Amino acid sequence: MDASLFPGFRQLAIETAPGISINAIVGGAGAPLLLLHGHPQTHAIWHKVAGTLAERFTVVACDLRGYGDSSKPAGDPGHLAYSKRSMATDALRVMQSLGYPRFRALAHDRGARVAHRLMADYPDAVERAVLLDIAPTLAMYAQTSETFARLYWHWFFLIQPAPLPERLIEADPGAYVRDVMGSRNGSLAAFDPRALAEYARCLASPGAAHGLCEDYRAAASIDLEHDRDDRAHGRKLATPLLVLWGANGVVARCFDPLAEWRKVADDVSGHTLPCGHYIAEEAPDALLAAALPFLSGL
């Protein structure tokens, strides 16, 4: 699948901790750029923009732990294995193993939450970052409304104790992918059938439903503790941020992303794009037009 969606890229498996291997693809030349995907997807979300990015950057696109072809460790009572702190350390070690102690980042959805923690815990690692279609996790939970709960129902379904949500997802992983992505977007027309098939294949792999749920359980528990600790101690991100969100998405409807990111970061700019949640697949040209100058430092 990578050969079809990402011609010229090479695939790697990088050990980031004992028993944890992170799947990644690498291509292009230039300054290093880390790409992190969201739910319920894999690095395949970047297939419409990776080639153009690789003309200017060395692109490293990872599968988060619990997703894609990366390791799917068992969860633990405190959900530490799937904390954004653990996932951020994975991302840092991937880049360090490739010889990139400092890099830029482009991240969507769950991956953008990982990028947030990466910048908070390792402030010298990320030069600048583009975050797609999220507000900070703490802000989104704190401001949950009936509208948000109805539209982002999966946030509250996936955090239910195991094995209930895992069992229901595992009954038909392909249907979960199609229903979640199609309901957010109104249809599946924006998505390449090869990418949809890849998302379904990966979610059907052993441990994937559990990893996905543990990601969300961590977000509703240990991740909030880490975020509250940052707030309590007045710690803010120093990394320059470009925040982009879909004009037709739930984030735009329920939150003020710029205002929320400016509460946790010192240097924030951003605006909407003409799409819904899945920016890299729905509006790749608009994403590139906004992100390339920023990532290039122009």
CATH of the domain at 151: 3.40.50.1820
| Residue of 109, 133, 227, 230 marked catalytic | 109
Give CA–CA dist 13/161, Å, rounded. Answer: 31
Report the residue count for the chain.
Answer: 298
For residue 69, indicate whether it is catalytic: no
Q: Which domain does 137 fall in, by range?
A: 2-295
Using the CB atoms, write b or e for 124-160: b if 16+ within 10 Å. ebbbbbbbbbbbbbbbbeeeeeeebeebbebbeebbe
Give CA–CA dist 16/37, Å, rounded. Answer: 18
Query: Minimal CA–CA distance to 187: which of 275, 128, 79?
Result: 275
For residue 230, indicate whether it is catalytic: no
* Pairing status of strand 241-246 against strand 126-132: parallel
Please state, as a whole number, how many other Cβ atoms lie within 10 Å of the Cβ of residue 216.
22
| Tens digits of pLDDT across the chain (298 residues) | 678 999 999 999 999 999 999 999 999 999 999 999 999 999 999 999 999 999 999 999 999 999 999 999 999 999 999 999 999 999 999 999 999 999 999 999 999 999 999 999 999 999 999 999 999 999 999 999 999 999 999 999 999 999 999 999 999 999 999 999 998 877 899 999 999 999 999 999 999 999 999 999 999 999 999 999 999 999 999 999 999 999 999 999 999 999 999 999 999 999 999 999 999 999 999 999 999 999 999 7
Residue 185's pLDDT is what? 75
Give CA–CA dist 119/49, Å, rounded. Answer: 23
Q: Structurally, how many domains does the chain consist of?
A: 1
Identity at 216, one-letter amino acid code: Y
Residue 28's pLDDT is what? 98
Residue 217's pLDDT is what? 98
| Residue of 37, 39, 43, 277 marked catalytic | 277
**What letter does residue 73 receive in the DSSP assignment?**
P
Give CA–CA dist 30/57, Å, rounded. Answer: 4
Please state, as a whole number, how many other Cβ atoms lie within 10 Å of the Cβ of residue 169.
23
Residue 113's pLDDT is what? 98
Peptide bond into 293 cis (omega under 30): no
Residue 50's pLDDT is what? 98
Identity at 147, one-letter amino acid code: T
Residue 94's pLDDT is what? 98
